[in-house]
Structure 1
Amino acid sequence: MNRKKGLFLVLTGALFWGIGGTVSKKLFQYGIDVDWLVTTRLLVAGFLLLIVQFVRKEERTQIFAVWKTKKAAISLVTFGLLGMLAVQYTYMASIKHGNAAVATLLQYLAPVMIIIYSVFRRQATITKRDVVTISLALVGCFFLLTNGSVSQLSVPMLAIVWGFLSGIALAFYTLYAVPLLKQYHSLVVVGWSMIIGGLALSFVHPPWQMDFKHLTIETYLYLIFVIIFGTMIAFWFYIESLQSLSPKESSLLGNIEPLAAVLTTVFWLKEPFGFFQWIGTACIITMMLLIALNKKSSITDHQYAYESKNSQTLG
């Protein structure tokens, strides 16, 4: 029963992540501002995750324990600003200028960036599997962004730039979050980092500065889905799945997120997606599976999906 529960949680969480990006695109089409959505999403979801942690009586003391150590507090603030906020904002900006499918796939280039960074810093040597992984990423990106054409892009340049920045940001906090996640519960780290990021962005676009009277019921439903299901519940379910599944199993099953983003973008939003873009998608998803299946790689301890998802937002 525990294993079945774990499978349900990780699959549901990954689906919510993938669909949440597509629903965000729908909100942008309705005129919702990127700054406002990211601010509201982070603040509400972060607060709810801390409530979940508080309900667990045996673990609620960790909520404020992270602030009692100066080093941990500084790391948490840094992670919240340069990790959580950076990933969320760049990802949403890429969706706004392009679509959730391309934004999610570009963000998932983060493990390749980590491999290259590790080799560049001489923390690891490149392996044959790494060469295959990087090659799949390059080929996948080429087909995804050009649809096979050597003369023009099939995706807006701003979407590409924000998407690559999202991958860089994800690579940064995947590595930066490791010490915090080893010392404090994932819900505490994720919850506080969301609140920190949301508070910082509130100075740019306060969440109360919104013409709520002109929002339709449909818009409110989409907002609820993105904030509650696509963020808070997605994180919570993924983290809970690790209680009954191994990190490798959760990371493998979590790879349905980009597939969900692609399918909902194409069949729900009716976004154009060419034949070669499907090939590019297949290359990038294959790359992700190779990394998740690999026992040892250039990524530190190579539990990329576990470490990144416990400190993320997909997308």
Structure 2
Amino acid sequence: MKKITIVGAGRVGESTAHNLAKHETCREVMLIDIKEGVPQGTALDIQESAPIYDFDTRLAGSNDLKDMAGSNMVVITAGVPRKPGMSRSDVLDTNLAVLYGIVDEVKKHAPQAMLLIVSNPVDVLTYAAWKRSGFERRHVFGMAGVLDSARMASFVALETGFSVKDVSAMVLGGHGDTMVPMTRFATINGIPIDHFLSKEQIEKIVKRTREGGAEILSLRKTASAYDAPAAAIASMIDAISRNRRHILPAVAVLEGEYGLTDICMGVPCVFGEHGIEKVIELPLSAQEAAEFRKSAETVRADLAKLKK
């Protein structure tokens, strides 16, 4: 990719920019934020690390959304973060207004760009961005599953003591308390995790995965997670930029997959140069299907608010 714009120069945006620059995922990173001086200072700070990390990516900051012009990808992290005790849905109204304003500017200044939504509630905002933009569904997606799956894999490695490099995990559904960690598909070097872990240990990992973001928020008090989300964003963009055809769980627009339409949910997708090139339908057990439907109902409850 030539240019990636990140709207929102907070901690997630900053860490994402640094990840993209260090790995030379694109030629130029543009950081945009409403706070004067913040995106400019953040961009300069990262740029000055180039000789140390040995990258040629150029970074710039702006307070004007028109400077996203020419972007191949626009990442939206802007919005209000949740506070301890809040659900992701509690910030919907505020973040929806912010999202609409940004998407309208993308249509004006970067109509060929793909949209990667990070702001919460991500399932609902991804749907809203798709509807507002009129873009193809393969060009609008949200970050959640990569992060949730990484959290699950981390917890499996911590619980077993084995290398995290050998752990593979998959989380589907909405990005919230009803997400569906797919324990049946979780493996350690190809071996199912129930070979090493008891039912109680696996249930503990599932619970901790669902509460992963809230756990960090409760510890930090004044800040949500940002390093792991940024790494997840960067991995999705890398798969597209380098046409890897990498299978990653992401919030995607569903058009009949898993028996659902007119909704965005976390599902495994093939990412390549055209964005989401395919949605993969996994064969779900009766219990997994029930949990997935329950998660969909939660997302639909928030979607209903958009249509009022």
TM-score, with structure 1 as normaliser? 0.25
TM-score, with structure 2 as normaliser? 0.26
Using CA pairs below 8 Å that are at least 6 residues apart, which structure has the higher relative contact order?
1
Structure holding more strand per residue = 2
